[in-house]
Chain A
Amino acid sequence: MSSNWLTREEKSQFSPFENLHRAMPTENTGLRSQYPLKFAILVTAPPLDKASDTAFYFLQAALKKGHIINQVFFYAEGVYHGNQLIYLENPDLIYRWQDLAAQYALKFVLCSASCARRGIMGKEQASYFEKKGCNLRENFEIASLSVWFAEMHIANRVMVFGEML
């Protein structure tokens, strides 16, 4: 074999996906034996959509039951959740997400490409795109799609809220 090929150990140093398969259950043994489940959550609905409501109540219920959710990934129209300039007569619709994050140490991640298209910028993005202000809500962060796929890879169940495809 040519020495140009990397060994598995060398590969795992810079590929975040190389080691993740070990966390996967080897066979599907049914719901009950896998409790608590690890969920990967994708929200593609905007904050005022019914699907956003459903996502919130699902998260609340699942976390209360003791299931594992490390992060929520917002994609397409869903990235509007991270816009701090949204003003609503009922501010609870936005702030309840942050309350939930504080309570259960959740991470909210926005897709960088969707954010750029919809004008949602953190400090880094604003300087990169040469914009004056930034409007990223606290507790939210902007990352690439690969973060979502890494999460999807290690989860037992994948949930999508809102229309995407």
Chain B
Amino acid sequence: MKTLLMIKRRFSSPELAKESLDMTFAATSLEFHVSLLFLDDAIFYLLKSSAVPADIARWENSLTALFAALPFYDIQKIYVSQEAMQQRNLQVEDLLLPVISLPNAEINTLVCQYDRVLS
């Protein structure tokens, strides 16, 4: 079953972030076909350590390592919002993982392709 998880904010504590990732990893371990969509500030978790802004707290920085492990959990595809990237002055080259960058207008059609969407 094709499932899309939308991550769309910076988490207020590491526990909340881990709970969200638990949801992702549990879904993949139960053989759901999981893809991720990063919107707004969530994009910061995908940054390479050289590109991370100085004001990001240390625990958030350590989360980046968790997100870097996503390919090992059999995540099918990772999408990011093109507008969110432009607003934050980021390029696809600044990101840790190979991602598909989509303009907001195409995100609607993307969501329609999935059987289940969690956000």
- Provide the main secondary structure of the chain B interface: mixed
A59 within 8 A of B: no
Decide if A86 is an interface residue (CB 8 Å cutoff).
no
B20 within 8 A of A: yes
A165 to B7, CA, bound (A): 5
Given A75-B19, A114-B19, A164-B23: A152 and B116 within 8 A (CB)?
yes
A107 at the interface (CB under 8 A from B): no
Residues in chain B within 8 A of chain A (CB atoms) = 1, 5-9, 15-16, 19-20, 22-23, 26-27, 30-32, 42, 116-119
- In the complex, A164→B42 CA distance in Å? 12
The answer to the question of A146 belonging to the interface, with a C-beta cut-off of 8 Å to chain B, is: yes
Q: Which single member of A21, A117, A165 contacts B119 (CB below 8 Å)?
A: A165
CB of A158 within 8 A of chain B?
Answer: yes
Q: Which of B9, B15, B118 contacts A117 (CB 8 A)?
A: B15
Q: Which residues of A contact B (CB under 8 A)?
A: 17, 21, 42, 75-76, 113-114, 117, 145-146, 149, 152-153, 158, 160, 163-165
Interface residues of chain A: helix, strand, loop or mixed (majority): helix
Q: B22 to A145, Cβ gap below 8 A?
A: yes
Per CB-CB distance, the 8 closest pairs between chain A and chain B, nearest first, are A145-B26, A165-B7, A165-B20, A76-B19, A149-B30, A158-B116, A152-B116, A165-B5
Contact of B22 among A113, A158, A160, A163 (CB under 8 A): A113
Cα distance A162–B117 in the bound complex, in angstroms: 14
Give Cα A149–Cα B15 distance, bound, in whole angstroms.
21
Q: Contact: A165 with B22, CB < 8 Å?
A: no
Residue of A nearest to B36 (CB): A165
- Contact A145/B23 with A17-B30, A165-B7 known, Cβ cut-off 8 Å: yes
Most chain B CB within 10 A, of A42, A114, A163, is at: A163
